[in-house]
C-alpha cells in the first residue's frame, strides 16, 4: 500500500537591496499583503548597502506589520553588486525573488512569478515594472512611458534581464555559484551581465506579464539628462559584453554596425523633430548605440549610482 506523503513546502526568499531610502517602508508594506500560494513559505532579506547600518531601525520598526520573517543584512558600502550577492549568499529557499527598495508589488506579484516558473521550468522569470510619473514630468515622457522596464526579445528569446522584478530558481545549473560583478556595482549593468552569462550557460528566461510591480519616478529622473546618461551606460554595458566575444575584424564590424545604427537613429530623430515621443525614442536609442561603440572601444561604464540622489537599484 502506497503511503501518502505531504508535499514539501516551496520556500521563497524575497531580496530587497536598500540604500538610504525611506520608500523601503512602502515596499515592505506591499510585500506584507502579497497573495501567497498554499504550501509556500516566504522570508524577506533586506540587504543594507550603506556604510553604516542606517536601515536597521527602519526594518525593525516594520517587523510587526509584516507577517513574514525578515532577515536584515548589513553589507557596506555603496556597491549594489555587494548587496545583491549578500542576498544570494543568505538565500536558503527554492527561489529568490528580487524587488527594488523604491518599488511596490501588486498583490499577485509573487504568485504570478511562481506560476510561470512552474509552467515553464525556466531558470529565471522576469516581470514588468510600470513607471508611475509625477505630475511635473513632461507630457511626452508620460505618453511614451520611457521609464517602465520590460524584457527584450531577440528572435523570440529573452537573453538578458534585470533585478527590479525577477525570480531565480536556485537549483538551476546555470545559477550555481553565480554572482554579480562587483566591478559594475557603481555603474550599473551588473544585472544585465549576470542574466546574459546565465543565459549563455543554458539558463532559460521566461516572462510573467501579470507579475506587476510599480516604481515611482523621482523628479531627478524625469528628465532627458537622466534618460540620456542611463541609455548611454546601457549601451556601454552591451558593447563591453560584445567585446568579450569579438576580436580583430569582428570587433571593428561591431563598431561599424553600432555606429551606423546610432547615425540612423539620430537622423530619424531629426526628421521627427515635430513629434516629441518618437523624436526622443530615436534620439535615446541613438545615444544607446553610441554607448555600444564606447563599450567596444573598452571605455569603462560611467558611474551612475552610489549617492542618495542616484541610490543603487
Q: What is the pLDDT of residues 142-158, one digit of tens each?
A: 999 999 999 999 999 99
Separation of alpha carbons 8 and 2, rounded Å:
17
What is the chain's mean pLDDT, rounded? 93
Residue 224 CB partners (closer than 8 Å, separation 6+): 280
Beta strands in the chain (DSSP E): 10-18, 40-48, 69-74, 95-99, 104-105, 124-126, 129-132, 153-154, 157-158, 165-169, 205-207, 213-216
Question: Is the model's pLDDT at 308 over the cut of 70?
Answer: no
pLDDT of residue 305: 55
Whether pLDDT at 199 is above 50: yes
pLDDT-wise least confident of 41-45, 105-109, 244-248: 244-248
Summarize pLDDT for 211-227 with one digit per residue, the tens.
999 999 999 999 999 99
DSSP state of 303: P
pLDDT of residue 246: 81
Set of cell numbers at residue 4: 501518502
Residue 238's Cβ-count burial label (10 Å; 0-12, 13-18, 19+) is buried
The answer to whether the pTM exceeds 0.85 is: yes
Please, which residues have CB within 8 angstroms of residue 119's CB and are 6 or more apart in sequence? none
Contacts of 95 (CB under 8 A, 6+ apart): 10, 11, 12, 13, 114, 117, 167, 168, 169, 170
Amino acid at each position: 500500500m502506497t503511503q501518502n506523503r505531504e508535499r514539501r513546502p516551496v520556500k521563497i526568499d524575497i531580496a530587497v537591496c536598500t540604500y538610504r531610502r525611506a520608500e523601503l517602508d512602502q515596499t515592505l508594506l506591499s510585500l506584507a499583503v502579497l497573495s501567497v500560494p498554499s504550501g509556500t513559505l516566504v522570508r524577506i532579506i533586506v540587504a543594507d548597502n550603506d556604510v553604516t547600518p542606517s536601515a536597521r531601525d527602519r526594518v525593525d520598526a516594520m517587523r510587526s506589520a509584516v507577517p513574514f520573517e525578515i532577515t536584515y543584512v548589513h553589507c557596506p558600502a555603496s556597491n549594489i553588486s555587494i548587496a545583491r550577492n549578500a542576498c544570494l549568499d543568505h538565500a536558503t529557499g527554492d527561489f529568490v525573488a528580487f524587488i527594488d527598495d523604491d518599488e511596490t508589488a501588486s498583490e499577485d506579484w509573487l504568485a504570478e512569478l511562481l506560476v510561470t516558473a512552474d509552467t515553464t521550468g525556466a531558470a529565471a522569470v522576469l516581470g514588468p515594472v510600470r513607471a508611475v510619473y509625477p505630475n511635473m514630468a513632461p507630457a511626452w515622457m508620460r505618453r511614451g512611458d520611457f521609464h517602465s522596464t520590460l524584457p527584450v526579445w531577440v528572435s523570440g528569446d529573452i537573453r538578458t534581464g534585470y533585478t527590479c522584478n525577477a525570480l531565480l530558481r536556485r537549483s538551476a545549473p546555470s545559477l550555481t555559484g553565480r554572482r554579480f560583478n562587483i566591478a559594475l556595482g557603481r555603474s550599473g549593468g551588473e544585472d544585465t551581465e549576470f542574466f546574459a552569462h546565465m543565459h549563455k550557460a543554458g539558463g532559460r528566461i521566461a516572462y510573467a506579464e501579470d507579475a506587476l510591480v510599480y516604481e515611482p519616478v523621482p523628479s531627478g529622473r524625469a528628465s532627458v539628462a537622466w534618460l540620456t546618461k542611463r541609455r548611454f551606460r546601457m549601451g556601454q554595458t552591451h558593447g563591453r559584453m560584445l567585446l568579450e566575444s569579438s576580436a580583430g575584424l569582428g570587433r571593428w564590424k561591431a563598431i561599424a554596425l553600432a555606429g551606423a545604427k546610432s547615425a540612423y537613429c539620430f537622423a530619424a530623430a531629426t526628421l521627427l523633430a515635430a513629434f516629441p515621443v518618437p523624436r526622443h525614442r530615436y534620439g535615446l536609442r541613438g545615444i544607446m548605440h553610441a554607448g555600444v561603440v564606447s563599450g567596444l572601444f573598452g571605455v569603462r561604464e560611467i558611474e551612475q549610482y552610489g549617492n542618495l540622489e542616484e541610490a543603487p537599484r
